Amino acid sequence: MRAAFAVLASLAAMPAAAASPVLWHAQVDNDVFHSDRWYTSGVRISRSAPLAADSPFAAFLRPVGTGEQRVDLGILHEVYTGDGRQSLLLPDRPNAARLLLTAARHDIGPDTLATWALEAGVAGPAALGEEAQDLIHRLAPAPETDWATQKDNRADLQLAAAWSQRLPLEAIPGALVVHGGGVAGTLVAFGHAGVEWRTGGPAQAASPLLRFAATPVLPGASRGFGFFAGASIRAVARNRLLERRDDDPLAQPGRERRVHRVAAGLSWSQPWGAITLGLAQDSREFTGQRAPHRFGSLSFSIAFD
């Protein structure tokens, strides 16, 4: 764990070139279609700056054809809850929260967006999931959920990688982009692959919904609106966020080994930054889940020269 935080600190101290602006990114996911059910909310806030060419991290696994590199440093908070309408005869996921410090490097080219990310923190009461939910419910009332049987604090460390590549298909208007990558961590591990049609290139106001990694909402070369739609599949090897405590009387849910996602949305780019709004639906993530799950995602960047 100390080594992970040392890497985060070294990335924070890297010099940045002055040619590209510093960007502040924010991503907010919310279970807007339901009242706190399964994936309830996610918030990622990060500062993105150009990576100096002489940095020791610049040449590490850098894809050919990428010209710009950026480093994001930030924080990620996620909240998962059970479903108050689920039958007690069926398994349900327990309440869980994660709070992570994150560092990500992005390699950017006209046809490529590649990401490496290291995320380290805690899952459990110290992640303040119950407190965050209570704060939000003061503004938007919703049914209470049960945090009494939340798992104790656990170290949460993961490495994420994502590659997005435009296919050279000139006959198709817009861009056809394939995504691939994976997450390997102490609590969650999966690989993923997907395809997306979008009006711009892979890095132009991209959405994280089909990349499953930190994604910079970079302004596109052409200002105005853009659109995207796609689908992906995840092969899940580990999901310990589904684990219940030994003294929990409810049944332990088993993870689904394959989870599908469909997503669509639109983006808006301007000289000051970009905004992307997306909607996603996931297939069942655990045995006994009574329905697929839908949520919304809002991502934006603001440039600071």
Map out the domains of the chain as residue ranges. Answer: 2-304
Tell which residue, 50, 44, 38, has the closest CA to residue 14: 50
Q: Does position 17 have pLDDT exceeding 50, yes or no? A: no
The answer, yes or no, to whether residue 286 has pLDDT greater than 70, is: yes
* Contact (Cβ atoms closer than 8 angstroms) between residue 257 and residue 238: no
Q: For residues 250 and 128, which has the higher predicted lDDT (pLDDT)?
A: 128
Which pLDDT score is estimated for 251? 86
Q: 185 falls in which pLDDT band (50, 70, 90)?
A: very high
Q: How much is the average pLDDT of 1-11?
A: 47
User: Is domain 2-304 in CATH 1.10.287.130, yes or no?
Assistant: no
Residue 280 has pLDDT above 80, yes or no: yes
Specify the pairing of strand 38-50 against strand 293-304. unpaired
The whole-chain average pLDDT of the chain stands at: 88
| Amino acid, single-letter form, for residue 220 | G
Q: What is the mean pLDDT of residues 136-163?
A: 87
Q: What is the pLDDT of residue 205?
A: 79
Reported as a pLDDT band with limits 50, 70 and 90, residue 222 is low
Structure confidence at residue 173 (pLDDT): 87
pLDDT tens-digit readout, 63-113: 888 889 999 999 999 999 988 776 667 788 999 999 999 999 999 998 999
Band (pLDDT 50/70/90 cuts) for residue 250 is: confident
- The tally of CA atoms less than 13 A away on the side-chain side of residue 92 is 25
Closest by CA position to 70, among listed 53, 54, 48, 55: 48
Kindly tell me if the per-residue pLDDT of 11 is higher than 50: no
Q: Are strands 154-166 and 112-123 parallel, antiparallel or unpaired?
A: antiparallel
Average pLDDT over residues 189-215: 92
Structure confidence at residue 171 (pLDDT): 76
Residues 18-51: pLDDT tens digits?
347 899 999 999 987 767 789 999 999 999 999 9
Would you state the pLDDT for residue 217?
Answer: 81
Comparing CA positions, the residue from 54, 47, 43, 53 lying closest to residue 71 is: 47
pLDDT score for 189: 98
Rg for the chain, CA atoms, rounded? 19
- pLDDT reported for residue 10: 47
Q: What is the pLDDT of residue 5?
A: 44
**233-243 average pLDDT score:** 97
Of 191, 29, 240, 3, the closest CA to residue 103 belongs to 3
d(CA 190, CA 59): 26
What was the pLDDT predicted at 305? 61
